[in-house]
Chain A
Amino acid sequence: MSKSKIPYEVYTEEVEALSVLSPDGEIVNKDKVPNLSDDQLKELMYRMVFTRTWDERAINLGRQGRLGFYAPVSGQEATMVGSEFALDKNDFICPGYRDMPQLVWHGLPLYQAFLYSRGHQHGGQIPEGVNVLMPQIIIGAQVLHAMGIAMGYKLKKQQQVAITYTGDGGSSEGDFYEALNFAGVYKLPVIFFVQNNGYAITTPFSKQTAALSIAHKAVAAGIRGVKIDGMDVFAVISAVQEARERALKGEGATLIEAVTYRFRPHSLSDDTSKYRTKEEEGEWSEKDPIARLAKYLEKKGLWTEEDTARVKEEAKATVNEQIKKAEQTEKMTIPGLIDSMFETTPKHLEEQKADFQ
């Protein structure tokens, strides 16, 4: 294979991550600017600001005991919102436990996301017509599902792709390698999107792999690997669109490594000061994906600070309304749970219901 002229496409040497938008909101890579209308650009910004506000509210709701398990996302809006934005509504999303924004922007009602967090079964009941799985707790399992779903698209000759998300940690699981390998062998229309935020709980990237990058793991599977700036929403959209087009043309899978950072802790019960430094957090906050897009849009006259304030208010109101809806949803029952085990409840389970009536 000839050496690539494209810096972010990996072969065997180190690569620069693809950047399109600089931290000052300047275009640094004209060829890779996604083709978006002004309205689309504003919608993208809206979703990113909304997601940040929702995340902040969710952390507070968690502290008040109104949410259960919750994994913060701030800092990763470009990877989460941007990658979903580049998809078709019918593409399939297989998320990890942190990837709630992709699900919601793909059609899962927000109150169900809250129900999921509160430990209610209805939270994972995906509405008809929304092509997503519920968040996966077993790291790496969803990567295999996306591969299988993509196999289904291929067998059915359906022009759709599956995308799946995991973290830098997730890219170490055996399941991850097996999925990549199958995708290579069967040339599947699947996008493996790794959000490398530098840490798997407390374990830094340097202890996760000795590979030059996660994108390099594509090489061994015979699929395409690219590395992008995950704080740059244009780089994200451009990479996902390109991967999608290749997949639809029958050119197979792409592994995208997006280098990003999570401003908040791993989960609500984690203390970042034990393994991260303030300096590092400060450096990354200068790359904030929302500020970066805002600068670009402000220069184009498409966005103002008032717009941000307005979206924040709107997001807060929506979150309040949706959490109330979650709180008012009828409680689960044990007989209901028992009936959800099989299509037809077997006799021994019918008997077990008697203990709970």
Chain B
Amino acid sequence: MAQMNLKEAIRDAMRVELERDPSVLIFGEDVGNVGGVFRATEGLQKDFGEERVFDTPLAESAIGGMAVGLGIQGFRPIAEIQFVGFIFEALDQIVVQAARMRYRSGGRYNSPIVFRTPFGGGVKAAELHTDALEGLIAQTPGIKLVVPSNPYDAKGLMISAIRDNDPVFFMEHLNLYHAYREEVPEGEYTVEIGKAKVVREGSDVTIVSYGLMVHTAVKAAEELEKNGIKAEVIDLRTLVPLDIDTVIESVKKTNRAIIVQEAQKSAGIAAEVIAQINEKAILHLEAPVLRVAPPDTVYPFAQIEDQWLPSPATIIAGVNKVLEF
């Protein structure tokens, strides 16, 4: 096994699949020669050639649309959108064209595409580089949505995403790229898309999250434990399809829950999880399920992002609220 950070794990997944399957292609802005602005594809062009890993002109709609066309031709494109805020330029191709290909063609064509994009706050990047836009994608029927929180899952989920015959939107948290390394198996292995994971067991309250916020939630849970409160932390890993069963099982045990997300509070993933808890386990609840999330403003300029984003302290406050209800 090798020690990898999240970025290296994702690169390793792409390498494994490029080797295994000649129909896998990687393209996007700056991904070739230098391997992307974060070097996530570094070395891949050198090893697999310019026909399989290549730079495109600066045009997201064309990147998305080319992926759709190549998908029809039997390729498996991995299209990089350089930063999440630039998906809007490509949104028609991603959420309308790719996501509807199977439906529109009655199953004749599909879109075996992975749209990779870095996102995520806490790094003081420029405007629109960090926004958590998963809610936009999650509202779109026909596309899967993956947000890994650690290197092991990232590699396994990426391999699953590349092999998936439906489009997968794969969001990579900027703050996790280099955060830490862990043991990641060499070669191929998969982590199933659509399965959540209990990352910390507990009996008093359930904290549901994904991406970087899983780590923030674990920090909060460690603090809470010092006061004798046992929080169970769930990493959703995949937002579409959402593994609500794992959440419900936990809520039945703890009877209390909060959902932590980095995206603005209203109409997002947290709201969806709460709606499903209400539908499936309302009689097990001792308190309303809370959202711990930033306010409904634009992602703020760097100066106040630390205050804006959920922190262990705001998560603890949320937990105390549901415990004291």
Give chain A's interface residues, CB within 8 Å of chain B. 68-69, 97, 118-121, 123, 137-140, 169-170, 172-175, 200-203, 207-209, 274-275, 331-334, 337-338, 340-341, 348-349, 352-353, 355-356
User: Contacts A119-B302, A119-B303, A334-B308 known; A348 to B85 CB distance under 8 Å?
Assistant: no
- Report B-chain residues with C-beta under 8 Å of the C-beta of A120: 301, 303
User: Contacts A332-B300, A341-B297 known; A202 to B57 CB distance under 8 Å?
Assistant: no
In contact, A174 and B127 (Cβ under 8 angstroms): no
Within 8 A of A (CB), among B252-307: 265-266, 295-298, 300-305, 307
User: Contacts A69-B126, A169-B57, A203-B55 known; A334 to B307 CB distance under 8 Å?
Assistant: yes
- Report B-chain residues with C-beta under 8 Å of the C-beta of A123: 301
In the assembly, what is the distance between CA of A352 and CA of B294, in Å? 9
B89 touches which one: A175, A334, A341, A348 (CB < 8 A)? A175
In contact, A349 and B296 (Cβ under 8 angstroms): yes
B59 touches which one: A121, A172, A349 (CB < 8 A)? A172
In contact, A203 and B57 (Cβ under 8 angstroms): yes
B62 at the interface (CB under 8 A from A): yes
CB distance from B183 to the nearest CB of A (A): 29
B34 at the interface (CB under 8 A from A): yes
Q: What is the chain A residue whose CB lies nearest that of B59?
A: A172
A203 touches which one: B30, B128, B305 (CB < 8 A)? B30
CB distance from B48 to the nearest CB of A (A): 18
Chain B interface main SS type: loop
Please name 7 pairs of A and B residues whose Cβ atoms are closer than 8 Å in the assembled complex, sorted by A. A69-B126, A69-B302, A172-B57, A200-B30, A207-B55, A337-B295, A348-B296
CB distance from B15 to the nearest CB of A (A): 20
Q: What is the chain A residue whose CB lies nearest that of B88?
A: A138
In contact, B296 and A137 (Cβ under 8 angstroms): no
Q: What is the chain A residue whose CB lies nearest that of B37?
A: A201
- Report B-chain residues with C-beta under 8 Å of the C-beta of A334: 295, 297, 300, 304, 307-308
- Report A-chain residues with C-beta under 8 Å of the C-beta of B302: 68-69, 118-119
In contact, A119 and B124 (Cβ under 8 angstroms): yes
In contact, A332 and B297 (Cβ under 8 angstroms): no
- Report A-chain residues with C-beta under 8 Å of the C-beta of B136: none
User: Contacts A169-B57, A202-B34 known; A68 to B126 CB distance under 8 Å?
Assistant: yes
B61 at the interface (CB under 8 A from A): yes
Closest 3 CB pairs of A and B: A119-B302, A169-B58, A69-B126
In contact, B301 and A207 (Cβ under 8 angstroms): no
User: Contacts A137-B128, A332-B303 known; A174 to B296 CB distance under 8 Å?
Assistant: no
Instruction: Give the number of chain B interface residues (Cβ < 8 Å).
Output: 37
In contact, B297 and A337 (Cβ under 8 angstroms): yes
- Report A-chain residues with C-beta under 8 Å of the C-beta of B303: 118-121, 331-332
Point out which of A120, A169, A201 has the most chain B C-beta atoms below 10 A from its C-beta: A201
- Report A-chain residues with C-beta under 8 Å of the C-beta of B266: 348
In contact, B34 and A173 (Cβ under 8 angstroms): no
In contact, B295 and A338 (Cβ under 8 angstroms): yes
Q: What is the chain A residue whose CB lies nearest that of B264?
A: A352
- Report B-chain residues with C-beta under 8 Å of the C-beta of A169: 29, 57-58
A202 touches which one: B33, B126, B298 (CB < 8 A)? B33
In the assembly, what is the distance between CA of A35 and CA of B132, in Å? 52
In contact, A200 and B58 (Cβ under 8 angstroms): yes
B86 at the interface (CB under 8 A from A): yes
User: Contacts A68-B124, A138-B89, A202-B30 known; A172 to B307 CB distance under 8 Å?
Assistant: no
CB distance from A161 to the nearest CB of B (A): 26
User: Contacts A68-B126, A69-B126, A137-B127 known; A174 to B59 CB distance under 8 Å?
Assistant: yes
Digitize B110-137: 1 where CB-to-A-CB distance is under 8 Å, 0 elsewhere: 0000000000000011111100000000
In the assembly, what is the distance between CA of A350 and CA of B307, in Å? 17
In contact, A170 and B58 (Cβ under 8 angstroms): yes
CB distance from A203 to the nearest CB of B (A): 5
Q: What is the chain B residue whose CB lies nearest that of A174?
A: B61
In contact, A173 and B29 (Cβ under 8 angstroms): no
In contact, A275 and B33 (Cβ under 8 angstroms): yes
In the assembly, what is the distance between CA of A331 and CA of B298, in Å? 17
In contact, B59 and A173 (Cβ under 8 angstroms): yes
CB distance from A310 to the nearest CB of B (A): 34
- Report A-chain residues with C-beta under 8 Å of the C-beta of B295: 334, 337-338, 349, 352-353, 355-356
In the assembly, what is the distance between CA of A340 and CA of B300, in Å? 11
Digitize B157-176: 1 where CB-to-A-CB distance is under 8 Å, 0 elsewhere: 00000000000000000000
Q: What is the chain B residue whose CB lies nearest that of A68?
A: B302
In contact, B57 and A69 (Cβ under 8 angstroms): no
In the assembly, what is the distance between CA of A348 and CA of B295, in Å? 10
- Report A-chain residues with C-beta under 8 Å of the C-beta of B33: 202, 274-275
B304 touches which one: A140, A203, A332 (CB < 8 A)? A332
- Report A-chain residues with C-beta under 8 Å of the C-beta of B265: 352
In the assembly, what is the distance between CA of A333 and CA of B301, in Å? 11
- Report A-chain residues with C-beta under 8 Å of the C-beta of B61: 174
In the assembly, what is the distance between CA of A175 and CA of B92, in Å? 14
- Report B-chain residues with C-beta under 8 Å of the C-beta of A353: 295
CB distance from A237 to the nearest CB of B (A): 28
In the assembly, what is the distance between CA of A140 and CA of B308, in Å? 29
- Report B-chain residues with C-beta under 8 Å of the C-beta of A138: 85-86, 88-89, 128
In the assembly, what is the distance between CA of A337 and CA of B309, in Å? 13
- Report B-chain residues with C-beta under 8 Å of the C-beta of A341: 296-298
Point out which of B60, B126, B298 has the most chain A C-beta atoms below 10 A from its C-beta: B126
Digitize B71-96: 1 where CB-to-A-CB distance is under 8 Å, 0 elsewhere: 00000000000000110110000000
Digitize B17-30: 1 where CB-to-A-CB distance is under 8 Å, 0 elsewhere: 00000000000011
In contact, A332 and B89 (Cβ under 8 angstroms): no
Within 8 A of A (CB), among B177-197: none
In the assembly, what is the distance between CA of A355 and CA of B314, in Å? 9
In contact, A173 and B126 (Cβ under 8 angstroms): no
A208 touches which one: B57, B89, B125, B126 (CB < 8 A)? B57
